[in-house]
Structures are given as C-alpha cells and as structure tokens.
Amino acid sequence: MYKNKKSFKENFHYWFDNMMSGGTLSIIGFLALITLVFIIVTTVVLWLINLVPEKSFIELLWLNIFKTLNSGTLDNARSVQLNFAISLLIALGSIFITSLLIGVLTSGIQQKIWALRKGRSRVIERNHTVILGWSDIVFTLMRELMEANKNQKKFTLVIMGNKDKVEMEESVRERVKPRGNIRVICRSGNPLDLNDLQILSLPLAKSIIIIENEDTQIFKTLLAVNNSTSKSPDRNFNIVSLINENRNLDSGRIASGGRANFILNKDFIAKLIAQTCYQPGLSLVYNDLLNFKGDEIYIANFKELGGKTFRESIFMFDKSSVIGLYTGGVARLNPPPDTVIKENDRIIVISADDDASILSEIQDPGINYSSINISGKTAGFKDNDIGKKNTRKEKILVLGWNDKAPTVIGELKKYISPGSEIRIAAESGFLKDFSKLQNKSQDDTKETETGEIDLKFTAGDISSSEFLGELTRQNYDHIVVLAYPGMDIQDADSITLMALIHLRDIAEKNNLKYSITSEMLDLNNRELAKVAKVNDFIVSEKLVSLMLAQISENPLLASIFEDLLSESGAEIYLKDVEEFIDPVHPINFHTVAEAAARMNSLAIGYKEASLENSEEKNFGIHLNPDRLKMIDFKHGDLIIVLTESLI
C-alpha cells in the first residue's frame, strides 16, 4: 500500500535535498548559519557559567567570533616552555580536528551532490502535476501549464525522464525559466519501472501527463502507473496521454483501467491541416480556443436556465458564447435548439474566465432583425451551404511527406469534388508509401465517391526553386507543406522554410493565387517564415501541448474536444458574413448569433479581413466578442460558427 504519512526524517531529508540542490550559494549560506548558531551557543554557555567575569556578553560574542575565524593562532601563548608546548599541542589538535571536519564535510557534500545528480530522492508534494517522458514537446507543455497556474498560490511540476537530472534542470532553466509561484522538480528514472514511479507520489498528484513517442511505450507506462497506484485509496488524479494510432485507443483504455483521456496526435493535426487548407485562419481559432491566455471553454451550472430551451440560453449571456450542454457526463455541442435545459444540466461556454460566465441583466439583447440576411434559406440546416463540399474540380499540391500525409489526403477528399487532383511532391524514397495510399484509394473507389480523386506523385527536391517553379505552372488552388520525418527538427523546418520562401516568390513573379498551409515543428521558426506570407502555420508541438494542458487542468474538457474533432460531431467553420447579415450598418453580435441560430449554427466569433496580416491584432480573429458591442462588418469578413458537418 502506498505510504501516505511522512516521518520527520523523510521531511528533513526532503528539505535538505532541496537545499543542497540550490547550488553553491545555498550551501555556503547553510554552513554560515551553522557557524553562527555554534558561536551563539558557546557564547551563551560561557556567559552563564561566568567563566570570564571581566568580559560582557558582547565581548564574549566578539571573542568567540574571532577565535572561530582564527582557529589555531598562538596570540595568547606565553614564553614559558611548558605553556608554549601545551598551546602548540592545542593549536595542532585544533588544526587536525578542523582539517578532519573539513574533509568529512567535503566528502559528504561530494557524495550528496552525486546523489542529487541521480535524482532519486522521493518527491513529497500534493496536488502536483507529473509529466512522464522527455521529448521536444515538454518545454512547450511546461509553458502552457505554468500559464494556466500563474494565479495559483503554488504550482509544482514534476518531470521524470530517462535523462540526467542536472541536464534536465539546465534545459528547463534555459528554455522555460520558471518564476514566482512555479516550482519545477526533475527526477531521473524510467516511467516503466514501478520502483521509479514510487518516488513521484503519484497517488497525491492532481494530474499525470504521458508524452512518450511510441504507442507501445505509452501502453507500458499506463500499465506501470495503474499498477503502482492500484492499492492506494487516494487515487484522485486524472491521466492524459498522447496516442498516435486510432486503432490503439482501445488498448490504451484497457492499459489505463479506463482512467486515461487520450489525444490522437496525428489525427488531430492532420485534420486541422486539411480543414485549414480550405478555411484560412482556422488554426488561429483553435489556438485561441486552447490557449490559456485567451478565451477558453468552461463548464458551469446555472439553475436559472432550468426549463429554458438551448436556443433561449444563447442570448442570455453578453460576454460568453454558449456552445453546448454537459449532461450525465456527456458533452453535446450545438444540441437541437428546442432541447430543454434541466436544473442539473451544465452549460458549456467560451469565456475569458469562469468568473465572466454570468447571466445578462439586460432583457432585450438588441437584435437588429432587419439586418439578418437569410432570405431564400429556410431555418433548416440542410438548405444552407455550411459544411458542404465544393462542386468544382480543384487541384491541390502537397509538398513533403510524413505519417500524417494519408490522413491529410483523406480529409482533403471530403472537401473536393470527384475528378479533382491531389499531387504529392516529395523525395523519391517516399514513393513506396504513396503507392500504398494509392492502392487503398483505388479500393475505396469501389465503395464510396471519396476515392474518385486523381492521386499523383512527383519525385523531387521541394526546397529547389526550379523544381517548385515547374510544379506550380499547373495553377494549383491550394498548397500544403508537410515536414519531413526522421531528421532533426531544425533541419526539417529549414526545408519547409525554403519551400515557403520559393512558393511566395513564384506566386508574386507569376501573379499566381493559391493558399499555403504549412506544418511547422518548432514554434520559434514561425517568426523566420513571416517573409513567406503563409496563410496558416500549423505548429503541431504548440497545439498538442495546448490540448494536453487543457485536459490536464480540466478532464471534463476531453469529451468536448472529442466531440469537436469527431467525424459526427459539430465542427468549426469560417463563413462569409453576407451569409448571415447585410454588412451595411453596425450591429451587435447578438444579431449575428440570431442569424446563425436560424440555420442551426452557433456564432462564436468573427475574422476581420482587413487585419488578417496583422499579428498585433491576432490576424483579425475575434473569438467570443462582447455581444452588446456594435460591430461595423465589412465585405470579406468571416463569421466563426460551430455547426454540424454534412461533408
């Protein structure tokens, strides 16, 4: 059984370990404190027994300080030979004892330093967050967790990886720089080893995040966590883990005993790349939605809404956007508008913070019905074009290849009409992978129209301007750039950057118009790519870290994100403002919400076309705007809606 009660010895060792790991200054301060205590104690003793009556307490204190700092001096030795010999013997003995003490201290400190480098001492914390594994994603994940907990009185983050403890600590200090209330504790160990997991106080943790790269390693880690905490009565933590393959989800749930929430790493990023290709700005919406710095998803109960319909609840908030209901442990995004809310139901909202989710005191939301532009459209969803695929044939160019490519292409097929073309341009070594995909696509054609797409492969160097110039003569509508796998992140991003720069240069010289959506591995390289004027960057490391952090802080969000990213659930779209209102006069956002509600959709924000190149203005993205504030929409602006997909 897990040992919850800590002894005084364990607590002292834990305090001493942290003091020793504080560095040289911390150790010097500790030794100075011991010396000061020794001087004060000896002075008090001498003063109490009145051994030197002619000396005051202050004089005795000063004498002790002098003697302690000048051990072994012979200033008081007399000229008499015996006294001189005795004084000399005492001085030599003092030197010997002092040298021995220094040697013992030096040896002990050295041993302690080596023990600390191994990072094997037990973590005595409660309500801490544990990260199991060490990869490039860990730094971005740490930043997001620290942002989420910056207002907490204390936040402790414990990391265990198969690396040297000191190396991990140096990397954290260099790349993350924790401050204030944030405390980061690193431990060296194997997350698959039950004995190693015992030092992390897992049963007392708030959450456990697993970031191993391979699914097999994830399963083993889940089994180890489950077994190491199975006998503890204090298991209140939640588990969130990455997983790469959809087919491994059931195995992961079994390994975790049904306690873990999973993020499909490849599927999430691949779907977002494909959707963003047709909806520039969509990645920014997801980034805002997942980011702790902006508006987030909250779940709250409002008994005042009991008996109201879901449609009525949409207009009862001025600073929050209602997006669904949480009933019986299940999230339903964009439920039927006539759904009656029960007293125990919880509302899912997008809000600046949980305190901002308050009911409006204004009875009239100020809807301008004359500006609503849905003439010729019925209130039924099936008669509008939100979510329908394009009817004209299109040409899409995919540069590069990785394990997300098949999913990206599969998602793109849902948006384009039969007879369209998708051309893959990559190194010749990926031709074998493409052939497998092509054969599968031909098999799919027998059962569904989504296979009726002309898939082609061209071998070449995607960082070559000559190669790209030849390719782009075919007038592509959309270009997707994928990062190459199996190489250093910086090298992969360098190839991507070269391709982006050449693509933008070719477009400007030849007056070509195509959207560019690019996958980027390192967030820092996004700054370097600004010159390429790319429509959207999908920084997979950033987005996955955001989702891990969100679910780690609030596990109830897992079912919401699952609904948002599933094939059958509601999805986010960016649609022309004219599909909802006439952008002639300023209106409030309640008016836009009314227009969207008539098409069984939820308006959650908008994008200003005039600001799409302004990073300072968040590229024109306004998620969860103030619904009473007057907005002067212009032609080209887009409304961000949550709606069911009929693709």
Q: Do residues 620 and 631 lie in contact, with contact meaning Cβ atoms separated by under 8 Å?
A: no
Task: Give pLDDT tens digits for 234-274.
Answer: 678 899 999 988 889 899 899 988 889 999 888 888 888 88
Strand order in the sheet with 602-607: 570-576, 638-644, 602-607, 621-623
Residue range 383-419, pLDDT digits in tens: 334 445 566 788 999 999 998 999 899 888 887 888 8
> In a 3-state reduction of DSSP, which class is residue 328?
coil
Q: Which residues, other chains included, contact 70 with Cβ-Cβ below 8 Å and sequence gap of 6+?
A: none
pLDDT digits (tens, 9 = 90+) for 197-227: 999 999 999 999 999 888 899 999 999 998 8
- Per the model's pLDDT, the better-predicted residue between 495 and 18 turns out to be 495
Q: Residue 379 has what pLDDT?
A: 39
Q: Which CATH code is given to the segment(s) 129-258?
A: 3.40.50.720
CATH of domain 280-386+551-644: 3.30.70.1450
Q: pLDDT digits over 317-351, tens only?
A: 999 999 999 988 888 999 999 999 998 899 999 99
Common-topology check for domains 129-258 and 395-536: yes
Alpha carbons within 13 A on the beta-carbon side of 382: 0
| Neighbour tally for 77: CB within 10 Å | 15
Q: How far apart are the first and last CA of the chain?
A: 52
H/E run at residue 155: strand 155-161
Q: Side by side, which strands form the sheet with 296-300?
A: 296-300, 346-351, 320-327, 330-333
Q: What is the CATH number of domain 395-536?
A: 3.40.50.720
> So where are the chain's domains?
10-73+82-118, 129-258, 280-386+551-644, 395-536
Tokens 């180890």 sit on residue:
224
Measuring CA to CA, which residue among 430, 384, 375, 385 is closest to residue 404? 430
